[in-house]
Structure formats: C-alpha cells, structure tokens
Structure 1
Amino acid sequence: MSEAKRPGAVLFACSFNAVRSPMAAAIARHLFPGTVYVASAGVRRGEPDPFAVAVMEEIGLDIRRHKPHTFEDLEDTSFDLVVSLAPEAHHKALELTRYYSLDAEYWPTADPTLTTGSRDQILDAYRAVRDGLERRIKQRLDWRPMIGRA
C-alpha cells in the first residue's frame, strides 16, 4: 500500500472495547503518531481488562486510562476505515457503510478472554492477540520505520 492510500482515520471495533480494539488502537497510535487518527469502540461497553493492560505494558504502551465505550458513544464518525475484530462488530461497521463513505474490513481475531488455564497461559493468549494485531496493522497501514524510531 502506498503512502497516499493510507487511511487518515481508523476505527478499531470489537465486542466490548476492553481488549482487542483498545490494544489495536494503542498500537496504531504508537506506530503512526500524528499521521493517522485512531479510535476504538465496542458493540457493548465492557470493563477494563487487567491482562490487556499487562501485555501492553510489556511493550511500553499504557492503556490503563482507556474507558470502554460503544459505537453510539463516538463523537466523530469521520473514519476512512473501520477494522472489525469480532463478527458482531463487523455487522455494526457494515451498518456505518450505509450512511458514511468508509471502508470496512474484518480481521478475525481470537478473544483471549475465553482462554482458560494458568496465568501464564492466559497472558500468552493475550500476547498472541497483541502481536498478531501489531503485524496486521503494520502490514495494512504500510508501516515503515523512520530514522530514530524503534
């Protein structure tokens, strides 16, 4: 994807806006500071997730202040692209395409909150989601490291 085709405003959406979409939004904001407007929303409002906070802190991103909210809570709907990370969020995104000129993409993304097992197994599931989102965001938005950017 060329620089000219990179969307200027992206909305990441999932079921509860507590894990996948805030993680994706934080990653995109970090990778594209000041060049891409990024927001997140959920079909329903969830509760902040401590495992999501922990795995994002591992890569130096702080999502502790994130307050889960819904599509209806969005103050701005001027997005070029809505990336849905859950099927029900994609249905909402497709509804938006009826009223607004935007692209909607579905990126099937596992829900790590469904993982059972030890704390380490659960954290590994969250890390897998985080790392998969980072790879996909870099690929879709054509990320290129700049001199001085880690």
Structure 2
Amino acid sequence: MCAMNAVRSPMAEALAKHFFGKSIYVQSAGARKGEIDGFAREVLEEIGIDLSRHKPKSVEELEEWEGLNFDLIVSLSPEAHHRALELTRTLAAEVEYWPTMDPTLVQGSREQKLDAYRDLRDGLTRRIKERLRS
C-alpha cells in the first residue's frame, strides 16, 4: 500500500508477482487513488515486467471488489501506514512499514528521475525477496 497506488505499491505488486508467481496472493492499493506513473512503467519494462495493465485502486475499491483477506500489509508511505493501521481495527493482519522514497519528488534531468525510480525498483526487489522468500 502506498499513497495513490501509482508508483511504489504497483511496482511492489508487479515485482512480487514476477518473483513469486502464484505461490503468494498479492494486490496493491493506495490510501487514495491516482494515475499510474510512466516512469514506474518504464523502469519495470527495463527488467521485463509489464505494468501497462495496472489499474490504480484505493483500499476501499479493493475491499469492495475482493474483500480484505490479507495476512500482511506492507505500507510504503506515511499516509499508507496510517491507513493500514486503521485497517487492523477490523482486519487481523500484520502491518509492516517499509519507508520508501517518493521518486516523483526528484528534480533534474529525465535520466536523474529515472535513476530515482531504478533505485526504488532495486530497493523494493531486495526487500521483497528477503521478506517473502520463506
């Protein structure tokens, strides 16, 4: 879960599905709903992951469509972490906060911005593999 389900959480979802396939159930959502970010799509395409079909959704939409039957919620932004903790009032799920930088805040050239998204991708890859390997 991230703020808008536009950068961090869709990248994390796509990476987890890429590395673990159907051995785990993964869905992403945002505290709010945004639009998928083009740089996020681009840096995942660099490693062979297609994010073009991702449709951003809020936590409320996810709950409406599928229910919230998760064992673990990983929050990637302060806003998402607050929302995840609120969910534990009615959902018996573990919540972990993985503070991640928001690459949309990076200023500079196109390449500098892409590097920030690559850093996010690579950091999420490491964390996901470490946490979900078992």
TM-score interval, smaller chain = over 0.9
Answer 1 or 2: which has greater strand percent: 1
Paired AA for residue 89 in structure 2: R
Q: Please name the residue that 1:146 is paired with.
A: none
Deviations 1:18-57 (A, max 9, x none): 0000000000001111110000000111111110000000
- TM-score, scaled to structure 1: 0.85
Aligned with residue 75 of structure 2, among 76, 84, 89: 84
Q: Name the residue aligned to 1:128.
A: 119
What value does the CA root-mean-square deviation take over the aligned residues? 0.8
Q: How many angstroms apart in 2 are the aligned matches of 1:114 and 1:22?
A: 17
| Higher helix residue share | 2
The aligned residue for residue 99 of structure 1 is: 90
Q: Which runs of 5+ in 2 are unaligned?
A: none
Largest Rg, 1 or 2: 1
Q: Could you tell me which residue of structure 1 aligns to residue 130 of structure 2?
A: 139
Matched with 1:115 is 106
In structure 2, how many angstroms separate the alpha carbons of the residues matched to 1:94 and 1:44?
15
Taking structure 2 as the reference length, the TM-score comes to 0.95
Runs of 4+ in 1 over 3 A off after TM superposition: none
**1:37 is matched with which residue: 11, 25, 32?**
25
